[in-house]
A and B are shown apart, each in its own frame.
Chain A
Amino acid sequence: MGKDETLLCIEDLTIGFPTGKCVKRVVDHISLEVKKGEILGILGESGSGKTITALAVMGLLPAAARILRGRIQYRGRDLLTLEEGERRRLRGAEISMVYQDPMASFNPLLTVGAQVEEMLRLHAKHTQEEYRALTLKALKEVGLTEPLEVYHRYPHQLSGGMRQRAMLAMAIIAGPKLVLADEPTTALDVTTQGKILQLLRELNEKYGMSIVLISHDLRVIQNTCHRAIVMKDGRIVEAGMTQELFARPQTKYTRQLVAAAPRLFSDGGGLRVTCAKNTSYKEQREIFTIQNLNVFYPEKGSGLLGKKRRKQVIKNANISVLQGETLGIVGESGSGKSTLAKAIVGLNREIEGVIKFNDVAAKGKGELAARPQMVFQDPFGSLNPTKKIGWLLEEPLKLQTNLSKKERIARVREMIRQVGLTYEFLERYPSQLSGGQRQRAAIAAALIVNPKLVILDEPVSSLDVTIQAQILRLLKELQDKYSLTYLFISHDLNVVFQICNRVCVLYRGEIIEIKEAQELLYRPQHEYTKELLESAMVKMGNRLP
């Protein structure tokens, strides 16, 4: 078998969802090839049809989907005309899949070992001992250093990264020739992301396994794949060798994607210069300070008379924020970022220590003239689904000002324009808006009462890259216009370095470093900061500067 043997060949595939009389096409005349031993990347934003394509290959399309035309050939056999029994034999043994959310794809009631072993049982005949030995071997193969222990654990007892490794073990155990990985790292922390991608590359090299890597993240594709395909609205926009494709994109859309992806590291800090020009904050005074702050999370006591217990989430935090700056707070999930934010705005009252705004002590309670406002990560959750956008924008004015109805409406209309939406949106419900529009509305709702301090809790994490860039630009504009101070919480270092003047690193509830962004990037002190930066670099395919 030559290296150039074509493993999978999709020709003119078109898939649609019939709705009423018309058919909504989600995959539109797609043709692609996967060669033996290569890693092919499929890059696209949500709704571009990349997952549906993968599901079609697996024969796992949702019941409502119809294949309208085209062929999917695997080593010369047309998958679409195969009988279900034949297909089932291929699934797992020849082609397997890794899903985005390993928590949802494991059965919570069975041990990890049993589930990985099940895959082998379905495709190969061995004795009991051999099954077990092979399963342990596969778990070891994917970098789980204590396979025996993992074997007996339940999915919820493993960390996100370990679960994704176990998922990979399940995908490779029957020795497939082709693995489809659908956003395998999206649900993971940066540090873990890099390791999983590394593992994928190793498996590819060691066994010559072909991999189709599906992602919305250009950096993931760029650093893992030999060849890449860019999809948009169900069509292939561009295809080519990865390095070539992203170095010299031919189409406007790819150029947009490349431009939107943070280039911080590859440019050696080019983007930092653009935001560092806002240095005037230095001469200004502190807008608020935190001294010796401990934040707790109340744990439910047992029973009616159970003693109230609480878990310490933030330990002895000291931060002072200057007027007009953007202070980034980075850390892994579970490091206490959101808890800290909630304590600052007064949503969490289980605190000890001092939070001072404008020299007025507001211990425990956030009673001050213009409360700090917050923009939440998920605009689907932070806008009340039963209210129109106009109502949502007017509500804070009703509660915090004594403007007349007329003045309120004027203010609402002004604000909606400021965030780049039109008046029509005032009459819509949140569900009628796209993710980006929704986040704009959420920003408008936060800014409408003229707060001085705005806390942005992962404001772009749930958005597509191109939308991310737009929202970041909007935030920057609004900051200049209203001289806002931002506290920017994110797990994505690239976004943080794009917008923040200073960065504070949170690790297991402790602030381990707080510095100018440039300083932190080039001279990280703490081991964890180094690790964090390094894993972001690995993902970027660059070395530390």
Chain B
Amino acid sequence: MGKNGGSTYDFNFILGLLLTSLVLFIVFLGFFYTPYDPNKMEAALINKPPSLSHPLGTDNFGRDILSRVMKGAGTTYVIAAAIVCIGASLGILVGALTGYFGGWFDEVVMRLNDVLTSFPSILLALVFVSLFGPGSYNIVFALGLLFVPSYARLVRGEFIVLKERDFVNNAKLMGAGSLRIIFVHILPNTRRVLLPSLLIGFNNAVLAEAGLSYLGLGVQPPDASLGRMLSEAQGYLLDSPWYALAPGLMIVLTVLGFSLVSGGLENGQG
């Protein structure tokens, strides 16, 4: 299982781990403690630049930006994680079954998969949201479904290769049924490719949530999420640039951290 020993870890992987733990720390802290109530408005503190009492400044309603970023990042993360969970579990299921069994079942399901991928995803999400109304649950569901095809393709490809290996033949001879072979014998072997893609998927989900909330379709006011904050900040970009900077930086750090960790995992780290 790769090389052991500290010297083989590369710099990027370490940096990724540091960034990831930093943003995760901020988010976890945000669940239990924020310096101010993130939704409390203060007429006297509208659009104040960073100061000692408000390290990242205040927004157009006089709310503390630091508190809102901490809370909002949490919301974004939970939504992104839920999206990846739905997308990955359905995707793995579809990919494993089609890859393992093949045949007409594979053909039909994969063509459906192609149909889903052939639409721009943001467009599909928009259609979905306009049908069922905006809100975080609908966003999770819509984006989760849109994430299915990429995982299905990935897992299917792995299964097609792995099912020909002798250890699978061996499992058949042991008397293992198809489902046991698929989930107990083969699935753990896809770990190497699956893990990095889960992290990248999380990144994409963070960006997608930000995108939809930016369009006003995701998290509804007054609740904060990174995308929501960016969307609210765009009117004040010139007067109070710190407003957009804080959530933007948070997204950049998250995406960068997870990408580096995922790259490291692909190169056999960890």
CB <8 Å contact, B189 and A386? yes
CB <8 Å contact, B175 and A400? yes
B172 nearest in chain A by CB position = A347
CB <8 Å contact, A382 and B169? yes
| In the complex, chain A residues whose CB is within 8 Å of the CB of B167 | 381-385
CB <8 Å contact, A374 and B169? yes
CB <8 Å contact, B169 and A399? no
CB <8 Å contact, A395 and B174? yes
Number of interface residues of A (CB under 8 A): 30
CB <8 Å contact, A371 and B169? no
CB <8 Å contact, B174 and A399? yes
CB <8 Å contact, A384 and B185? yes
Given A345-B173, A384-B185, A386-B189: A376 and B166 interface contact (C-beta under 8 Å): yes
Contact of A381 among B165, B173, B185 (CB under 8 A): B165
Question: Does B130 sit within 8 A of A, measured CB to CB?
Answer: no
CB <8 Å contact, B174 and A400? yes
| In the complex, chain B residues whose CB is within 8 Å of the CB of A374 | 169-170, 173
Q: How far is the CA of A346 from the CA of B191 in the complex (A)?
A: 29
Contact of A20 among B1, B7, B104 (CB under 8 A): B7
Question: Does B171 sit within 8 A of A, measured CB to CB?
Answer: yes
| In the complex, chain A residues whose CB is within 8 Å of the CB of B169 | 342, 347, 374, 376, 382
CB <8 Å contact, A396 and B1? no
Given A382-B167, A445-B170: A431 and B175 interface contact (C-beta under 8 Å): no
Q: How far is the CA of A429 from the CA of B189 in the complex (A)?
A: 13
Contact bitstring B93-126, A, C-beta under 8 A = 1, else 0:
0000000000010010000000000000000000
| In the complex, chain A residues whose CB is within 8 Å of the CB of B173 | 345-347, 371-374, 446
CB <8 Å contact, A384 and B171? yes
Q: How far is the CA of A438 from the CA of B174 in the complex (A)?
A: 18
A380 nearest in chain B by CB position = B166
A-facing residues in B154-181 (Cβ within 8 Å):
165-167, 169-176, 180
Given A374-B169, A384-B185, A385-B189: A20 and B175 interface contact (C-beta under 8 Å): no
Contact of B191 among A386, A387, A395, A442 (CB under 8 A): A386
The smallest beta-carbon distance between A126 and chain B, in angstroms, is: 46
| In the complex, chain A residues whose CB is within 8 Å of the CB of B165 | 381
B174 nearest in chain A by CB position = A396
CB <8 Å contact, B1 and A429? yes
CB <8 Å contact, B175 and A371? yes
Question: Does A1 sit within 8 A of B, measured CB to CB?
Answer: no
Question: Does B188 sit within 8 A of A, measured CB to CB?
Answer: yes
Question: Does B5 sit within 8 A of A, measured CB to CB?
Answer: yes
The smallest beta-carbon distance between B129 and chain A, in angstroms, is: 34
| In the complex, chain B residues whose CB is within 8 Å of the CB of A350 | none
Question: Does A378 sit within 8 A of B, measured CB to CB?
Answer: yes
| In the complex, chain B residues whose CB is within 8 Å of the CB of A449 | 174
Contact of A399 among B7, B107, B175, B191 (CB under 8 A): B175
| In the complex, chain A residues whose CB is within 8 Å of the CB of B191 | 386
| In the complex, chain B residues whose CB is within 8 Å of the CB of A342 | 169
Q: How far is the CA of A202 from the CA of B180 in the complex (A)?
A: 57
B175 nearest in chain A by CB position = A399
CB <8 Å contact, A395 and B166? no
| In the complex, chain B residues whose CB is within 8 Å of the CB of A383 | 167, 170
Q: How far is the CA of A393 from the CA of B54 in the complex (A)?
A: 62
Question: Does A410 sit within 8 A of B, measured CB to CB?
Answer: no
Q: How far is the CA of A387 from the CA of B185 in the complex (A)?
A: 8
A-B contact pairs, 14 of them (CB 8 A): A20-B5, A347-B172, A381-B165, A381-B166, A382-B166, A382-B167, A383-B167, A384-B170, A387-B185, A387-B188, A395-B171, A395-B174, A396-B174, A400-B174
Beyond the given pairs A374-B169, A382-B169, 16 more chain A to chain B contacts, judged by CB atoms under 8 angstroms and listed by A's residue number, are A304-B104, A347-B169, A371-B173, A374-B173, A376-B166, A376-B169, A378-B166, A383-B170, A384-B167, A384-B188, A384-B189, A385-B167, A395-B171, A399-B174, A399-B176, A449-B174
